[in-house]
Structure 1
Amino acid sequence: MIVTFRRLLVWVSLALAGGMEPAAAQPVRTTYAVQGDCHGWPATTVGMVSGMCLGLVWQRTGDSGPRMPRTLYEMDDGDWLVADLGSWDAGRGAIWRLSARGAQARWTRLVANLSMPHTIARGPDGRIYVAEMSRIFAFDPDDPHEGGTVIADLPDNRLHENRHPLSAFVFQADGSMLVNVGAPSDTCLDTRGRPNRDAQRQCAERAEQAMVRRYAYLGPDAAGLGRWSPDWTPFATGLRNSVAMAVHPSGSVWQAENSVDLNDPARPYDEINRLEAGRDYGWPYCTDMGTALPGWPAAVTGCGRRTSPTSLLPPHSAPLAMLFYDGAMFPELRGRMLISWHGYRRAGGRIMAVDTTADGAPVTATRAHYAIYPRGSMAYPADAPAPQGRLLTPRWGSVQGQHPMGAPVGMAVARDGSIWVAEDRNGAVLRIARF
């Protein structure tokens, strides 16, 4: 892809002028209007792909329930665990239990005073694990005081000091844990707005951050509880923000990258990457399919030596969750890669089902377009790979008196095959079902 140096300088100057997205800003919440039935739940008026509807399980209107629901996990009894970020300040997060029966939602707060909790997942030992900002801990929903820290000393990336504070993780088939450690800044600039270089003139922030770490699984202890090595190895580096990760049944590891946060609405593109051990994916030197950002010497930037994305995603779409659908309700989606786009700009507020190959790779095409709000589309770079598939939520833009622009984060496939969605900006839990 060819991008002029003049345009790249515009990107950087906008960033230096403070033109980056205010990630901590929380707009006023808007209520979802409901009309009719969506497979047993009140149907929102959000425009969905043919044959699907978006049901409203719950939306916060008072003091009950999570402030900022981010991820969900269905338990064996049909209740749900929900991670509540609380706010972008430490100590205000929580884990809640949601009992949702007969279009009624009841909340029980299980653990409070957490710092930006995010991922909830079941481990190889059958226990529940939760990622907090600086640690991963075991958790028993029936006895919340049981458990303990299993991964400690993750970087304490406060958002107001840095940029990417959330921990996230996935389990590999052998039980090893792949853990996101986000970049502590947007483009590795110092307080004067210049590249933050180390003695080798490389980004000084890359040594232990902006990567996915691997913690080896040591197997169960005498009580059958999982153990992980306290030491880690870099699995994949040069990654700005890897909260959206998924392991395909074939064993391949996939990540959706939130690219650098510059003010040009058409650049840079977000990404889908196949993560492989030892690969470097370019942050903060390269964007898109290999465009070098100015300010770094060519010997350091070396975009040709770094791993390019498997596919681009729309600019500023902000992918925050990824999974491979395996439910029964939507046979046409089985094996597809679902990605939530949380971004509040014109390409965000959507959930896409990406067509995939047998090993989970996105099916791509060139000369493709992506949809924008309020209507229309924009072209991807003509020679760049773009994901093929369909938008499940093609009309989730803001409609006065009907619904807000969507801000989907976590997704989970329920036992009945419906797709549950946590929407943090408007404090809602939603459910995609057959219409």
Structure 2
Amino acid sequence: MKRTLALLALTLAPALAQSCLGFRGLEVATPSGFCAGVVRSGLNFPRGVLPLANGDVLVVEMGGWGPDRGAVTLLARARGYAPQRLLTKLDRPNGIALGPDGKVYVGEVGRIFRFSLGKPAKEYVITNLPGNGRHPLTQMVFDTNRRLLVNVGSASDNCQEDKGKAACREARTNGLVRRYTFDWDSGKVNGWGVMATGLRNSMALAVHPSGTVLQGENSRDAIGAADPRLDDEEHPKDELNVLEAGADYGWPYCYENARNAPEFPRYPCADTRKPAVLLPAHAAPLGMTYWSEGPQPYRGWLVVGYHGYRKYGHRLVAFPVDSRGIPNGDPVDLIKDWVLPGGKLGAPVDVKAAPGGRLYVTDDRNGMLIVFGRR
């Protein structure tokens, strides 16, 4: 397996600015026979993406970090993917998902609404999310039992206000994943609870057909300021975690493989759940998906976008997985050397698989929707 992955990695070569899947090619390095193209540029800080069965694509434009500037935008294939804003004046929208009821669910700060494609009017179904502090954005995914899993990001970096204390007060309400159940006859939420804790910011969530839920952890910043012996460029590693009900994954007390954070040296980190995979430090996974209909050799693999601006970021990677969807080998770069004219780095956010074996990727800092696939 490792020899095969090494050979795949060696096939990466810079792509020329030629047509890719009917779009202008993006000048990046991709595996031989694959390419990336620019479906649409000029989008306003695009975050979530949702490919539709008819070939159209929905994009969540966050509009920046100010409130009430966001939109849900339709890029219709029949209109040459020209933007059509269906809903506007949204408060920092981020996540988007297709519900079991056929409606589209969108996460704003502190709340989630849904709408029908034929009649785009907001219906709020969740309004009690904290939406506070450092990580207010809402990400979500439906599991195989039709429950909605929702990120509640931490309000601080690493709960510095409670440094040295036995417990972080913020961790009671933030840094966790909630799980909502619905009465699908009425379409209303009939209850929720905390699924898992110790998760600083779960901006990447993916569900495997087997039922496995995978989370991409955006780990803390500035660990070197808390302990000068630690290299902030290399620590802490970001993580991929297999989420299980009731499990504690360590934030803010622990990082990497159950190592104590400098602020909480006496916490029993051995009792917390270790990550399935350690990612590079500050890779910043903001989106991922299982490429179930992808072409060989990547069919069924987990695809993750590294949003980070440091040396390990600005790339799209794929992990081979086992029958449960858990990574079991070294990753392969699908897109690397992602540097635009003027030195601007690629910044992948959401990643979603589309019918026909394509991937759609948003790039917020450069205002683009990217398509990736076999030529």
TM-score calculated relative to the size of structure 1 = 0.78
Larger Rg: 1
> Do structure 1's residue 319 and structure 2's residue 285 form an aligned pair?
yes
Residue of structure 2 equivalent to 1:58: 40
TM-superposed CA distance for 1:196, in Å, is: 8.2
> Do structure 1's residue 119 and structure 2's residue 79 form an aligned pair?
no
TM-superposed CA distance for 1:35, in Å, is: 2.2
Residue of structure 1 equivalent to 2:150: 179
Residue of structure 1 equivalent to 2:115: 139
Deviation digits for residues 164-185 of structure 1, max 9, x if unmatched? 1111111122211111100111
TM-superposed CA distance for 1:34, in Å, is: 7.1
TM-superposed CA distance for 1:261, in Å, is: 1.2
Residue of 126, 129, 132 corresponding to 1:151: 126
TM-superposed CA distance for 1:154, in Å, is: 0.6
- Classify 1:142/1:292 alpha carbon distance in 2 versus 1 (closer, same or farther; 3 Å): same
Please give the residue correspondences for 1:157-172 in structure 2 after superposition, counting only pairs within 5 Å. 157=132, 162-172=133-143
Taking the aligned partners of 2:78 and 2:296, their CA distance within structure 1 comes to 25
Query: For the Cα contact (< 8 Å) 1:110–1:141, is it kept in 2?
Result: no
Query: For the Cα contact (< 8 Å) 2:206–2:213, is it kept in 1?
Result: yes
> Do structure 1's residue 90 and structure 2's residue 72 form an aligned pair?
no
Taking the aligned partners of 1:119 and 1:43, their CA distance within structure 2 comes to 27
TM-superposed CA distance for 1:297, in Å, is: 5.3
Query: For the Cα contact (< 8 Å) 2:103–2:117, is it kept in 1?
Result: no
What is the identity, as a one-letter code, of the residue corresponding to 1:151? Answer: I
Deviation digits for residues 109-162 of structure 1, max 9, x if unmatched? 1111111111211111111111111111111233222x41111211132xxxx2
Residue of structure 2 equivalent to 1:342: 307
**3-state SS of the aligned residue for 2:58?**
strand
Taking the aligned partners of 1:186 and 1:124, their CA distance within structure 2 comes to 34
> Do structure 1's residue 81 and structure 2's residue 58 form an aligned pair?
yes
**3-state SS of the aligned residue for 2:201?**
coil
TM-superposed CA distance for 1:334, in Å, is: 1.4
What is the identity, as a one-letter code, of the residue corresponding to 2:369? Answer: V
Q: For the aligned residues, what is the CA RMSD?
A: 1.8
Query: For the Cα contact (< 8 Å) 2:314–2:336, is it kept in 1?
Result: no
TM-superposed CA distance for 1:45, in Å, is: 1.3
Share of identical aligned residues, percent? 40
Residue of structure 2 equivalent to 1:67: 44
Taking the aligned partners of 2:164 and 2:210, their CA distance within structure 1 comes to 39
Please give the residue correspondences for 1:244-259 in structure 2 after superposition, counting only pairs within 5 Å. 244-259=204-219
Residue of structure 1 equivalent to 2:26: 44
Please give the residue correspondences for 1:301-316 in structure 2 after superposition, counting only pairs within 5 Å. 301-316=267-282
- Classify 1:433/1:303 alpha carbon distance in 2 versus 1 (closer, same or farther; 3 Å): same
> Do structure 1's residue 392 and structure 2's residue 334 form an aligned pair?
yes
Query: For the Cα contact (< 8 Å) 2:63–2:92, is it kept in 1?
Result: yes
TM-score calculated relative to the size of structure 2 = 0.90
Query: For the Cα contact (< 8 Å) 1:176–1:228, is it kept in 2?
Result: no
Query: For the Cα contact (< 8 Å) 2:102–2:116, is it kept in 1?
Result: no
Please give the residue correspondences for 1:247-286 in structure 2 after superposition, counting only pairs within 5 Å. 247-262=207-222, 264-286=232-254
**3-state SS of the aligned residue for 1:296?**
coil
**3-state SS of the aligned residue for 2:297?**
helix
Deviation digits for residues 264-297 of structure 1, max 9, x if unmatched? 1111100010000010000001111111012325
What is the identity, as a one-letter code, of the residue corresponding to 1:248? Answer: H
Taking the aligned partners of 1:353 and 1:243, their CA distance within structure 2 comes to 17
Query: For the Cα contact (< 8 Å) 2:164–2:263, is it kept in 1?
Result: no
Tell me which moved more, 129-138 or 305-314: 129-138
Taking the aligned partners of 1:129 and 1:296, their CA distance within structure 2 comes to 38
TM-superposed CA distance for 1:101, in Å, is: 5.2
Structure 2: which 5+ runs fail to align?
A: 1-14, 225-231
> Do structure 1's residue 217 and structure 2's residue 217 form an aligned pair?
no
